[in-house]
A and B are shown apart, each in its own frame.
Chain A
Amino acid sequence: MTAPASTPRERTVEVNGLPCRVWEQGQGEPLGYLAGFGGLAQWPPFLAKLAETRRVIAPSVPGFPGALGHNLLDSHLDWLLAVHELLRQAGLEGADLIGVSVGGALAADVAACWPGFVRRLVLIGALGLSDPERPMFDVFTCNAKTLPGVLCANPAAYLAQVKPARGSADIEWQIEQARAFEAAARILWPLGDTRLSKRLSRISAPALILWGEADRVVAPFYAQRFASGIGGKTQVKIVAGAGHQADLDAPDAVAESVLGFVGSGAAAAKPRARIAGTAAAKGRAKRPARAEKPGRRAKPRRPMPRRPAKRKGGRRS
C-alpha cells in the first residue's frame, strides 16, 4: 500500500430528505469519486494518493455506506436525479469525476444526461452496458467468501477496503454492507444494463476508460464498447494485473493514470491538450457527429451557472 490509512473530512448533504455522507481530502481542484460495490468503508490508498495534489470528494450514493434512501428510488430516472443532486450538493458540478463499477455506470449517465456537468470523466471497470454474449458476471450470487476474489485480482485488497472501521463483528456494519449491495442491485439487477447504451453518445466530456486486465465482472472487452460509444474524446488504458475494482488492486498505477489525465494541482485547472503516459487512444471510426458535441456547437452550453468563472474554459473544444 502506498499511503497509510488516513481520515477524510466528513460532512452530510441531503438527497430526497435523507442524509448522504460526503468524504473529502486534499486541496486544489475538486475531483469527484463514485465508489464501486460496497462503497467506501474507509479512505482508500488510491484516494489518498489523488488527494496529495487534488481536493478529492467522495459522496456516498443513497444506500451506500453513510447514505440512506436507495429504497425511495424506483426508476433509473429517480437514481440519476438523486446522483446528480448528490454531486451538485457535494460541490462537484463541473468537476472531474471518477466512477468505479456501479459508480462508473452512474458517472457515465450523469455525464450523458447533463452535458457539461462532468468536466473530465474517468471510468474504471464501469457497468451499465450489457452484451448478450458476455453479460456481467452475476456478482449478486457471491457470498462473503467468493466476493473479494470476484471484485479484485488480489482479494486482500478488497477485504482491506471493506474492513469495518470500528471493531469487527459489528451487526450494523454487516447491515450497511448488505444495504450497499442491495443499492447496487437496485440499480443493476439483473444484468448490469442500465440502458446507458442509448445515451452514451451524448457524453461530450473527454473520458479516460480504465479497465483491470483481469476483470472478472465485466471483461476488458467493454472498455472498447465505452470508447466507441462515448461522443467525446476517449482513451482506453488496460491496467495490468488488476481486477474489476482496479483502483483497489493497483492504487498507484491507477492514480498515476488518473492524474495524468485530469492533471494534478494547478495543472488540473486547465486540461492539457495531450495526455501523457497512457496507451494509445481508441482506434475507431467515429460515428457521425451529433449536434451536442461541443466542437460542433457554435456556442458551448453553459450548464454550470454556479461555478466560478474560471471553470467555463475548462472544457476542451
Chain B
Amino acid sequence: MKLLWFHLMPYTELPDDFREKNNSVWVDIPSRLFDPRRAHRMYNDFMDELEYAAETGFDGVCVNEHHSNGYGLMPSPNLVAATLARRTRHAAICVMGNSLALYNPPTRVAEEFAMLDCISGGRLIAGFPVGTPMDTCFAYGTNPSSLRDRYHEAHDLVIKAWTSPDPFAFNGRFNQQRYVNIWPRPVQQPHPPVWIPGGGSVETWRWCADMNYVYSYLSYYGYKAGAATMRGFWEEIKRLGKEPNPYRAGFLQFVGVAETREEAYRLYKEPAEYFYARCLHVDPRYATPPGYTSEATQRARVQSQVSLVAERSAASAAPTWDDILERGYVIIGSPDEVAEKIKEVATGLHVAHLMLLMQFGSMGKDLAQHNTRLFAERVLPQVTGLFDGEWEDQWWPKPMPEAARAPQPGLTP
C-alpha cells in the first residue's frame, strides 16, 4: 500500500477562548488573530515537516487548498508543492488539490501542475476537488448553483489542454479561449494521475469510476465514521462492474505514535483537542448554500442517511479527547498497536492509499517530527507490503528514470 503524509497547515496559535469568542474558523475568522510574524515560523516549520516526512520514507506528501481558513493556511498549495519538488527526491507530490472552478481561466491549473510535474521529474498527483462551500461559495463568491458545472467544464478543459498535441479553441458554457496551448507540458503522459477528494456523493463515485480516477474520502472523523461512505463507494464500484482495486481509493486518518499508548495519550491530547475544538469550529450556516448539493444526493441522503456524520454540526460541543479516541477520529498507540490498527483500517475500508495527518492542531515541530519518525521507522515497514502482489497501483506517478533527472539541488558549492 501507499502511505502519504498530509499537511493541512493549521494556524497553531488560535487563542484558548477562540471557540467562545468567534463565530467560525472559516469564512469570517477575524484577521486580527493572524500574526504574520508567527506565521513565518509556522510555514517554515510545516515545510520542514513535509520535507522530513519525504526523507524518512513516506511514499508521498500531500498539500491542499483552503481559503479564509484558520486551519488551512494554503490558499495556494502549488507554492508549497513547488518547494517540495525541489527539496524532495522520491516522494510523490500530491496536491489535493486545486479547486478547478476557482481558476480563471482553468488552464492556469493545467499550467501550474505541468510546471510541478516538470520540476519534480514526474512525481505529481493532480487532485481536483470541487472545493468546500466555505472555500468556493462563501470565501470566493462562486455561485453554488453553477459550481459543479463549472468544475466539470474546467476539468474537461484541463485534461484536453494536457492531452491535445496542438493548440485548440475552447468554447464552453463558462470559459472561452481562442488559443489553448499550454507550455510547459506534463512529464507524465498522457497526464499525471488524477485523484478526486470528495464527500459521499453517488455522482462523484460514478464519475471517478468512469474516468478511472482515485476517489479520496477526506474526512476528519476517522475510519469508523468513514466506513459507511467507503462501503457505499465499493458497492457502487461493484454495481458498475469495475475491478475492486483498493488503489482506486484514498482515505484520510489522524495518527499519533509514541513508545506506549499511555505516552501517546499524553502527547497528542492537546493538539487533538485543539483541532477538534478550535479548527473545526465552523459555522454550519456556511456548509449548505443552495445548489451546492445536487438533487440526486439530497434524495440519497434522505433515503440512506449516508454521510450525515460528515455534516456533523460544529455548533455542538467539542468532543473530549476520550470521545476523539473512542470514535476513531485519531488513532494512537505504540508503533505495533498503530501498525495493527492501520492494517485493520486499510483492509476494513479496502483502501490502499492512506493519507495520514501526523501534524494536527497546535502540534509543534518537535512532536510532529517524533510522530513522523516513529511511524516511518517502526510502523511503515509493518504495513507497507499490504496489498502487494494482489493489486497494482495504476494511479501512482510514473517519474522519469533516476539517471535522467537533474541532480539533487544543493546549496553547497
Contacts and interface: CB of A to CB of B under 8 A. Distances in A.
Q: Do A and B come from one complex?
A: yes
Contacts of B105: none
Contact of A189 (B144, B283, B284, B288): B144
Interface string A124-141: 000000000000000011
B291 A74 contact: no
B302 A174 contact: yes
B141 A185 contact: no
A140 B145 CA distance: 12
Given A183-B145, A185-B144, A189-B145, A171 B285 contact: no
Contacts of A189: 137, 141, 143-145, 289
Nearest to A142: B285
A202 to B, nearest CB: 26
Interface string B294-325: 01001100110000000000000000000000
A143 B299 contact: no
B104 interface: no
Contacts of B295: 175, 178-179
B146 A141 contact: no
Contacts of A142: 285
A124 B68 CA distance: 35
Interface residues on B, range: 20 to 34
Given A174-B302, A175-B298, A178-B298, A71 B289 contact: no
Given A175-B299, A189-B141, A189-B144, A140 B174 contact: no
Interface in A126-180: 140-143, 171, 174-175, 178-179
Contacts of A174: 298, 302
Given A74-B174, A174-B298, A175-B295, A185 B145 contact: yes
A186 B285 contact: no
Contacts of B283: 141
Nearest to B288: A143
A71 B303 CA distance: 24
Contact of A181 (B149, B173, B290, B299): B290
A142 B141 CA distance: 17
A49 interface: no
Interface in A11-54: none
Interface residues on A, range: 20 to 34
B61 to A, nearest CB: 34
Given A178-B298, A189-B143, A143 B285 contact: yes
A105 interface: no
B30 to A, nearest CB: 18
B141 A186 contact: no
Chain B CB within 10 Å, residue with most, of A70, A143, A175, A185: A185
A186 B143 contact: yes
Chain A CB within 10 Å, residue with most, of B137, B143, B174, B291: B291
A141 B286 contact: yes
Interface string B230-261: 00000000000000000000000000000000
Given A74-B173, A174-B302, A189-B137, A140 B289 contact: yes
Interface string A179-198: 10111111001100000000
B343 to A, nearest CB: 40
Contacts of A141: 283, 285-286, 289
B330 to A, nearest CB: 30
Contacts of B143: 185-186, 189-190
Nearest to A63: B145
Contacts of B302: 171, 174
Contacts of B284: 143
B173 to A, nearest CB: 6
27 contacts: A71-B146, A71-B149, A74-B173, A74-B174, A140-B289, A141-B285, A141-B289, A142-B285, A143-B284, A171-B299, A171-B303, A174-B298, A174-B302, A175-B295, A175-B299, A179-B295, A182-B291, A184-B290, A185-B144, A185-B145, A186-B145, A186-B146, A186-B291, A189-B141, A189-B144, A190-B137, A190-B138
The 8 closest A-B CB pairs, nearest first, are A182-B291, A181-B290, A186-B145, A141-B285, A182-B290, A189-B143, A185-B290, A190-B141
Interface of A: 70-71, 74, 140-143, 171, 174-175, 178-179, 181-186, 189-190
Interface of B: 137-138, 141, 143-146, 149, 173-174, 283-286, 288-291, 295, 298-299, 302-303
Given A141-B283, A171-B299, A175-B298, 16 more contacts: A71-B145, A71-B149, A74-B146, A141-B289, A143-B284, A175-B295, A178-B295, A178-B298, A179-B295, A181-B291, A182-B290, A182-B291, A185-B145, A186-B291, A189-B143, A189-B289
